[in-house]
């Protein structure tokens, strides 16, 4: 019996039901000039639930294919008149995506080359075995659907386990495991035709974010002020606790910080790196609040919380309401942290914001290759998130998380960054991939009122005289309790949780329409705070 009350027998029964349901939906055309001799094979397949049409020549096959959208065609290669190889391209003109299995008496290489060149899905050598035909049908018609439907059944079985884990989660590591499971299921079910199961998963993810928000509210200030062995690694402790020990190990190391990079996006690109790297570690750390570049990335490189940066280097910190670049001193912060910890490695620092910066780095890659510790900050995904908000066509291309993952993979596969990573692998650099924070697709506006000095971010607000419903937010009325600077004496910070975003009453409808279903960061959610930390070792090390 599984922990949610579903027995293994019941699960197998569900999967068998799925299989036979799929079988009954498939229609096949078998074309052979000796079709009468194959009656036993056809009866065998009909007994398995298939609907089988037959004909004995290429001309009839072309006519039937033009009328009926078959799921698969079995085509004899050696027929009098129009051969199978001559019939195949005519079929492909009519039904280019329909899989065709070629049946042939010959294993001559030239015939196979012609058939494969014509994009057959599979071939079978005569004499034909009915089980061999059945296996080829399963492989070419049902494999994808069976896999997705069985995964759906598996998620239903694990739903209860995940729900129980939400109640039992006690520390940040527990929440990382929950988040990882939910992302894995989100990816597994991307191609499922069952809208209901994807909706259930979405509800469960929202429930998880709701519980995660409560968890952060209870524990965040202790993580910051009373750190112990149970506290998570956070932005300001990441380099000294996770990154520097790897560099101390003696291998040349490159830290790649991809702004707005989430675990699901890592999953979308990791297969592209399999030929070049082994994944030595796949872990997470916790971004500080606000989960925004100005705060989280400065803390990461300085090894300090924002309040400490403001006190120690006041000329290097700008509050939300001050004009100027908020992340202009990251390299200086990194150098100071390394000097404080006695790290004297040969180091390079490159910040790639525009495409031409990546091309320039490729042309001048030697300093990176020769350094003991290199840092590359890559801003493309942050730019893409903002472009999605502002550009209608990008919204259409990234309508949901699955589309955003797909676009991320497409970008990465053709990016200068991918080229740089392959070059680093050739030079045997260990690569660490992480981010300063993630991002979440928001859809629920909540009202807030503030003056013109209030910060503009949709997921957090800082300012004076903020008016909001305390039950809807995580509020920090004394910023120093969270080691955050004040922009003025009465400043407070409030953070949106889950998929909420802040909206002003003035012109609210237009504002909500513009920002609803856009990707934002700065607040509290698993997607924003649970940041991937990936260690890649080059092949051959």
Q: What is the pLDDT of residue 244?
A: 98
Q: What is the largest CA-CA distance in the chain?
A: 93
Q: What is the pLDDT of residue 355?
A: 75
Sheet holding 460-463, edge to edge: 460-463, 492-495, 474-476
The per-residue b/e assignment along 188-211, b for 16 or more CB within 10 angstroms, e otherwise, is bbbebebeebbebbeebbeebbeb
Q: How confident is the model at residue 51 (pLDDT cuts 50, 70, 90)?
A: very high
Q: How confident is the model at residue 4 (pLDDT cuts 50, 70, 90)?
A: very low
- Say which residues have a Cβ less than 8 Å from residue 197's Cβ, sequence separation at least 6: 152, 155, 156, 189
Q: What is the pLDDT of residue 193?
A: 72
List pLDDT tens digits, range 437-459.
Answer: 999 999 999 999 999 889 999 99
Q: How confident is the model at residue 168 (pLDDT cuts 50, 70, 90)?
A: very high
List pLDDT tens digits, range 244-287.
Answer: 999 999 999 999 999 999 999 999 999 999 999 999 999 999 99
Q: What is the pLDDT of residue 234?
A: 98
The token pair at 302 is 């300085």
The CATH number of domain 230-439+528-538, selected from 1.20.120, 1.10.10, 1.10.760, 3.40.720: 3.40.720
Q: Where in the chain is the domain with CATH 3.40.50.2300?
A: 22-142
The half-sphere exposure of 197 on its side-chain side, counting CA atoms within 13 A, is 23
Q: What is the pLDDT of residue 322?
A: 87
Q: Average pLDDT of 192-204?
A: 86
Cβ-contact 284, 537 below 8 angstroms: no
Q: What is the pLDDT of residue 10?
A: 47
The Cα–Cα gap between 267 and 153 comes to 22
The token pair at 149 is 């439907």
484: left (phi over 0), alpha (psi -120 to 50) or beta: beta
List pLDDT tens digits, range 393-432.
Answer: 666 666 778 888 888 898 899 999 999 999 999 999 999 9
Q: Average pLDDT of 476-498?
A: 94
Cβ-contact 309, 300 below 8 angstroms: no
Q: Average pLDDT of 148-162?
A: 85
Q: What is the pLDDT of residue 467?
A: 95
Q: What is the pLDDT of residue 113?
A: 61
Q: What is the pLDDT of residue 5?
A: 47
Q: Please give the backbone phi and psi of residue 500, each rounded to the nearest 5 degrees, phi first.
A: -75, 155
Cβ-contact 102, 31 below 8 angstroms: no
The proportion of the chain whose per-residue pLDDT surpasses 90, expressed as a percent, equals 67
What are 235-238's contacts with CB under 8 Å, separation 24+? 235/285, 235/286, 235/287, 235/288, 235/295, 235/296, 235/297, 235/299, 235/300, 235/436, 236/288, 236/299, 236/300, 236/302, 236/303, 236/304, 236/305, 237/303, 238/285, 238/300, 238/434, 238/533
Q: Is the peptide bond before 290 cis (omega within 30 degrees of 0)?
A: yes
List pLDDT tens digits, range 465-477.
Answer: 899 999 999 999 9
206, pLDDT greater than 80: yes
7, pLDDT greater than 60: no
Task: Find the distance separating the first CA and the last CA of the chain, reported in whole Å.
Answer: 44
354 vs 193, residue with greater confidence: 354
Chain mean pLDDT for the chain: 89
Q: How confident is the model at residue 387 (pLDDT cuts 50, 70, 90)?
A: low
The token pair at 482 is 């969270």
The per-residue b/e assignment along 454-463, b for 16 or more CB within 10 angstroms, e otherwise, is bbebbbbbbb
Instruction: Indicate the class that CATH gives domain 22-142.
Output: alpha beta
Q: What is the pLDDT of residue 380?
A: 73
56 vs 323, residue with greater confidence: 56
Q: Where in the chain is the domain with CATH 3.40.720?
A: 230-439+528-538
Q: Average pLDDT of 484-505?
A: 93
The Cα–Cα gap between 340 and 333 comes to 11
Q: Average pLDDT of 328-332?
A: 96
DSSP tally for the chain: helices H, then strands E: 23, 19
Q: How confident is the model at residue 83 (pLDDT cuts 50, 70, 90)?
A: very high
């Amino acid at each position: 019996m599984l922990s949610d009350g579903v027995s293994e027998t019941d699960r197998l029964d569900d999967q068998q039901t799925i299989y036979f349901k799929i079988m009954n939906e498939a229609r096949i055309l078998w074309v052979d000039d000796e079709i009468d001799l194959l009656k036993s094979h056809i009866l065998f397949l009909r007994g398995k639930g298939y609907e089988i049409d037959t004909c004995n020549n290429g001309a009839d096959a072309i006519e039937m294919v033009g009328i009926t959208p078959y799921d698969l065609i079995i085509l004899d290669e050696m027929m009098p008149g129009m051969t199978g190889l001559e019939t195949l391209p005519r079929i492909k003109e009519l039904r280019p995506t329909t899989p065709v299995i070629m049946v042939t008496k010959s294993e001559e290489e030239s015939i196979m080359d012609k058939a494969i060149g014509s994009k057959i899905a599979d071939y079978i050598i005569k004499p034909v075995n009915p089980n061999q035909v059945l296996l080829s049908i399963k492989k070419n018609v049902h494999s994808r659907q069976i896999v997705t439907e069985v995964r759906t059944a598996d998620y239903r079985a694990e739903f209860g386990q995940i729900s129980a884990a939400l109640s039992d989660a006690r520390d940040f590591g527990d929440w990382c495991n929950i988040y990882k499971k939910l992302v894995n299921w989100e990816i597994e079910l991307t191609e499922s035709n069952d809208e209901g199961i994807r909706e259930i998963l979405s509800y469960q993810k929202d429930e998880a974010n709701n519980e995660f928000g409560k968890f952060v509210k209870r524990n965040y200030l202790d993580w910051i002020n009373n750190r112990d062995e149970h506290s998570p690694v956070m932005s300001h402790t990441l380099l000294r606790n996770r990154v520097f020990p790897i560099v101390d190990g003696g291998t040349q190391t490159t830290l790649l910080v991809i702004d707005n990079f989430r675990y699901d996006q890592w999953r979308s690109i990791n297969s592209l790196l399999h030929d070049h790297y082994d994944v030595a570690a796949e872990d997470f750390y916790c971004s500080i609040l606000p989960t925004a570049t100005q705060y989280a990335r400065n803390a990461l490189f300085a090894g300090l919380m924002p309040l400490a940066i403001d006190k120690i280097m006041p000329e290097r910190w700008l509050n939300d309401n001050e004009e100027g670049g908020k992340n202009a001193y990251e390299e200086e912060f990194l150098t100071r942290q390394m000097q404080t910890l006695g790290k004297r490695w040969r180091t390079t620092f490159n910040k790639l914001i525009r495409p031409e910066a990546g091309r320039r780095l490729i042309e001048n890659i030697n300093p990176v290759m020769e350094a003991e510790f290199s840092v590359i900050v890559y801003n493309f995904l942050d730019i893409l998130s903002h472009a999605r908000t502002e550009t209608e066509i990008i919204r259409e291309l990234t309508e949901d998380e699955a589309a955003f993952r797909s676009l991320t993979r497409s970008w990465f596969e053709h990016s200068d960054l991918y080229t740089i990573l392959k070059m680093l692998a050739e030079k045997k650099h260990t690569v660490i991939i992480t981010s300063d924070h993630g991002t979440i697709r928001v859809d629920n506006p909540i009202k807030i009122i503030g003056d013109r000095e209030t910060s503009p971010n949709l997921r957090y607000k800082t300012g004076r005289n903020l008016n909001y419903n305390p039950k809807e937010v995580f509020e920090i009325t004394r910023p120093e309790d969270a080691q955050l600077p004040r922009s003025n004496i009465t400043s407070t910070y409030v953070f949106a949780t889950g998929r909420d975003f802040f909206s002003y009453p003035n012109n609210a409808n237009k504002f909500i329409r513009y920002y609803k279903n856009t990707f934002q960061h700065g607040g509290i959610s698993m997607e924003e705070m649970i940041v991937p930390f990936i260690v890649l070792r080059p092949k051959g090390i």
